[in-house]
Amino acid sequence: HTTAKDSLFTEESSKQISTLESAYQLERKEAEIQSLKVESELQRLQIQNDKIVIIAGILISLVGAGLSVIILREYRIIKKNKKQLESQKAELEEKNEIIEEKNQNITESIDYAKSVQKSMLSFDISNEKADRCFVFFRPKDIVSGDFYWYTTRGDIDIIVVADCTGHG
C-alpha cells in the first residue's frame, strides 16, 4: 500500500511538478515575449526619434544654408554699393575741386572788375559844386550794374546816371 501510495503520490507529484513546470515555462515565455515586444516598441520609437532628429537637422541645415546665401548676396551688394559710393565720392571731390578753382577765378575776376569800376567811377568835382551835391553809391553785390558819370563842357554840367543790369 505504501508502495502504491508512494508511487501514486510520486505520479501525482510528477504531474503537478510537470504542470507547474509547464506553467512556469509558459509564464517565462510570455514574459520573454512581452519583453521582446517592449524592446521592439522601444526600437521603433528610437528609430522614429532618430528620423525626427535627422529631419530637423536637415531643415536647420537648409535654413542655415539659405540664410548664408542671403547674407552673402547682401554682403556682395553692400560691397558693390560701397565701391560705387567711393567712386562717386572721388568724382564729386574732383568736381568740387574744379568748382572751387572756377569760383576762385570768378571771384578774382569780380574783384578786378570792382577795381576797374572804382577807378572809372571816380571823378573830380570843384569844391564849389561839391557843396551842392553828393554821390550815394552802394552796390548790392561786389560789382554794380549801375554807374554814374560827370563832366563839364564850358558852363554846362553833364551828369549821367545809368542802370545797365536790365532789372530796373
- 111-136 tens-digit pLDDT: 888 888 777 777 677 777 777 777 77
Residue 147 neighbours by CB distance under 10 Å: 14
Mean pLDDT of 44-66: 96
Instruction: List the grid coordinates of 76.
Output: 556682395
Residue percentage of the chain with pLDDT more than 70: 90
The DSSP line for 46-84 is HHHHHHHHHHHHHHHHHHHHHHHHHHHHHHHHHHHHHHH
Q: What is the pLDDT of residues 13-34, one digit of tens each?
A: 778 888 888 999 999 999 999 9
Instruction: Give backbone dihedrals phi and psi of 86, rounded to 5 degrees, phi first.
Output: -65, -40
pLDDT greater than 70 at residue 151? yes
- Do 143 and 106 meet the contact criterion of CB atoms below 8 Å apart? no
Cα maximum dimension of the chain? 191
**Residue located via cell numbers 520609437:** 45
Weakest mean pLDDT among 23-27, 69-73, 145-149: 145-149
Residue 161 — pLDDT band, cuts 50, 70, 90? confident
**Residue located via cell numbers 556682395:** 76
Average pLDDT, the chain: 86
- For residue 168, the model assigns a pLDDT of 47
Instruction: Give backbone dihedrals phi and psi of 115, rounded to 5 degrees, phi first.
Output: -65, -40
Q: What is the pLDDT of residues 79-92, one digit of tens each?
A: 999 999 999 999 99
